[in-house]
Amino acid sequence: GAGVSQSPSNKVTEKGKDVELRCDPISGHTALYWYRQSLGQGLEFLIYFQGNSAPDKSGLPSDRFSAERTGGSVSTLTIQRTQQEDSAVYLCASSRQGAGYGYTFGSGTRLTVV
């Protein structure tokens, strides 16, 4: 597609429920990244996929967070047993080969845990 597409754009969930966030990167982009942006804060790295290599999961804050990328394209970020501190905007970005080519970000999913 023309840009990075994320869905849903907004998600309200009850504490303890599981949520799935989807990212559709730009076609042909081999690198895909997930970041988290809390209100008024910077961008916190979560996970990085590059081609067929093992993902860099070093930024995932707990084992409640997981992500996968199927067929080198669409990615899903899953948060199990959501907590109120998980409330944030989750941003996905893709890049042609890696960070040195610049990221294109999606508009994000705003997650609110009540």
Contact residues for other proteins, defined by CB under 8 A: 4, 31, 33, 35, 41-43, 45, 48, 50, 56, 91, 93, 97-108
HSE (side-chain half, CA atoms, 13 Å) at 20: 6
Give least dist CB 26 to other proteins, A: 13
Q: How far apart are CA 35 and CA 33, in angstroms?
A: 7
Distance of CA 79 to the CA centre of its chain: 11
Per this entry, what is the length of the chain?
A: 114
Q: Which is nearer to other proteins, 66 or 97 (CB)?
A: 97
Residue 100 DSSP class:
G
Give least dist CB 81 to other proteins, A: 27
Give least dist CB 8 to other proteins, A: 14
Q: Which is nearer to other proteins, 67 or 93 (CB)?
A: 93
